[in-house]
Amino acid sequence: MPGSSTIDQIRQNKLRSLFEAASNEQGSERETVLTRGCEGDEELRAVVEALLDADVSDCPVLDTSLKAFAPELTPLSAGDCIGGYRLIRQLGAGGMGTVYLASHEGRCGKFAVKVVSWLSPDIWHRFERERAILGALNHPNIARLIDSGIAANGTPYLVMEYVDGQHIQRYCRDLQLSTDGRIQLFRQVCSAVKYLHQHLVVHRDLKPGNILVTADGQAKLLDFGIAKLLEADDQGEPSPKTLAGMMTPEYGSPEQVRGGQITTLSDVYSLGVVLFEILTGANPFAADGQCVHEHMRRVCEDDPPRPSSIVKASDPGRRLRSEIDNILLTALRKEPERRYASAEALEEDLRRYLEGLPVLAAGDSFPYRARKFAARNKLSVVAAIGISVLLAGGIAATAYQAQIARTERARAEAHAAMADEQRMRAERFAAEAERERARAQRRLDQLETLARNSVSVYASSAQSGREYDASRMIAQNARDSLAILGQEGKLNPQMEPLVAATLETLQNFRQAGDLSWQVPRGWSANGDASQYRVATEQKTPGVGKPVLFLRSIVPKPRGNIAISQRFSATAFRGGHVRWTGYLRGEQITGLAGFGLWVFSPGANGVFHLPVDISGTAPRRQFELVTKVPLEAEFIEFRIFLTGPGTLRADDFAFERVDPAAPELRLGEPHNLSFSEPLKGAK
């Protein structure tokens, strides 16, 4: 993402810290905090003072957007084209961007194009995450991702399946659906959320506005802008406080409002709020004229009203059963562990309610279950009562026969237990036989793979004259096959000399591969020399200066390569540093780019603002900016490549951003232009 035109994450953090510190002071103490914290930055001070004024208003703002620091992208309008899609009209707008109805000359139908209207590190992260999440989802009740990309002017966009429908609450109201009809429609939403949770995705913004219903009654779940992958790296996630500002407070769970840990149970709570509104027409915690603080307090502290009481007050002719009260109040528990364990459990209780079965939220008392059974089987219950009266007179006469039956049953159970033991023994034998068969099959498959790869590689290398690479890959395949045979305990002792010879061959290849590593002075490299090469081109066409390159030398490398430089952080402590440089990627299918690490005592290092490159990209400039803590010891800069491809780097620069800082002295990085002589073999 373009570094020079986007909001600085460090400045966001500084703004938030200043606001929190100043809000706890008054008078001259507040003035002192602002003067010291802003350090002459009048623009920053103006924003902090605006937030402080809003915080003491009748309806204070808890989490004001930092959009004022981020430049807006070129606005779009009807008739514009983006990525081959012609915009027809605007469908809606939100915090991250705008959604347009669009068409495509080469494709039939209409599309929904979501365009990012302004950029910040957080917005960019949310856009990339939404694209990654939607690309992996395929469910009839979730709007599909069709295409994505970045327009020529740098505007990111997503192309979604266009859903021609109404918000679920309006759909239920306009069609005057019955209570059962609304619940049956809502079960589709539960199915979609269950699918998300099964794929380790938490939506985090479930509300009626994100659920559309088509004319044929199919619900579609939209807007994954703040959804979270449960397996995502926490380094790439926004903080809980940030997410608390992004969510819709009317549908957020207590843990979301407090900025706590968000799980799939947070979505279960939001589903309960949506179903509450669908059935009653009211939000469980909303009140006319209340401010954000008051609403959020009610979410965290007050118990929701019984839905049946709201319906009775607003529509005396309509009733909700007590089971619906229990289902909704269970989904809206303040404590996550007391809610339904999953969206699937909520959907199952709704199904049981529709089919007249006992619902889990109503408890498991015998009178309740008996009433439900009698309601479902009225004729059978009446007949059972009559039969019971007739049988009562014959109980005494059949007591002796019952005793005989119990004796016979005990004998039959003993025989059954013996049969079960024999069956379990047979199953254990069958399982062991299956494991032996699987082990034998794995050995055969590995040997077959060795033979096939060896013949294929040797044949192709013979035609191209690359006997060196063919021999190396044959030796590697042989080494892998022998290792598997050793793990299975099937390696013949006479084959041990062959194992030693194979390992020696591979070691020779590694040593030979190391001769191709040429590292610029002042830098160090590490990785698999048999899979990658490091060197510089003294003059590259179109650049005219030395260019460093990291390149894979085998078709499918399994390792990685990195070149780095570590230097003292003494001269930069307490300030900000900036790296700039040019990168170009060629046929990269793995991860590649560069990043900045700051090492402090007691920590392995803090990773700041990585730049990732994939595919084939033209030469362009990138930038990294970070703060150096006062306790920092070292700064490390790293260029890395994983998987096949070539990464080229040139014309790097390093500077301290603060203009008041002294000139760079001992400890600054070396040879950023890669123009000094190369080091020898590793």
Tell me if 41 is assigned to some domain: yes
pLDDT at 557 > cutoff 80: yes
Tell me if 303 is assigned to some domain: yes
Tell me if 365 is assigned to some domain: no
* Contact status, residue 255 vs residue 262, Cβ threshold 8 Å: yes
Cα separation, 276 vs 339, in Å, equals 15
What's the rounded mean pLDDT across residues 664-673?
Answer: 60
Q: Quote the distance between the C-alpha of residue 655 and its chain's center.
A: 34
Whether residues 444 and 542 share a domain: the answer is no
Cα separation, 252 vs 297, in Å, equals 12
Write the pLDDT tens digit of every residue in 118-130.
666 677 777 888 8
Q: What is the pTM of this model?
A: 0.47
Cα distances (Å, whole numbers) of residue 392 to 274, 386, 388, 389, 399? 52, 10, 6, 5, 12
Whether residues 242 and 291 share a domain: the answer is yes
Between 389-403, 535-549, 551-565, the lowest mean confidence (pLDDT) is in 389-403
Whether residues 572 and 540 share a domain: the answer is yes
At position 24, the amino acid (one-letter code) is N
In the chain, the number of structural domains is 4
Whether residues 337 and 475 share a domain: the answer is no
Place of tokens 């008054």: 26
Whether residues 489 and 444 share a domain: the answer is yes
Q: What is the pLDDT of residue 325?
A: 93
Q: What are the tokens at 74?
A: 């070129």
Q: What percent of the chain has pLDDT over 90?
A: 28
Helix (H, G, I), strand (E, B) or coil at 115: strand
Whether residues 220 and 337 share a domain: the answer is yes
Domain ranges, residue 620: 524-656
Residue 663 has φ and ψ, to the nearest 5°, of: -65, 155
Cα separation, 113 vs 90, in Å, equals 9
Please provide the average confidence, as pLDDT, over all residues in the chain.
78
> Where residue 555 falls among pLDDT bands split at 50, 70, 90?
confident
Q: What is the pLDDT of residue 449?
A: 65
Phi-psi sector, 142: left (phi>0), alpha (psi -120 to 50), beta = beta
Between 155-164, 207-216, 508-517, the lowest mean confidence (pLDDT) is in 508-517
Write the pLDDT tens digit of every residue in 276-333.
999 999 999 987 666 777 888 889 999 999 999 998 888 776 788 889 999 999 999 9
Between 170-174, 448-452, 467-471, the lowest mean confidence (pLDDT) is in 467-471
Whether residues 646 and 543 share a domain: the answer is yes
Write the pLDDT tens digit of every residue in 610-658.
677 888 888 888 888 888 888 889 898 899 999 999 999 988 888 888 7
pLDDT at 174 > cutoff 80: yes
Q: What percent of the chain has pLDDT over 70?
A: 70
Q: What is the pLDDT of residue 369?
A: 52
Cα separation, 191 vs 171, in Å, equals 19
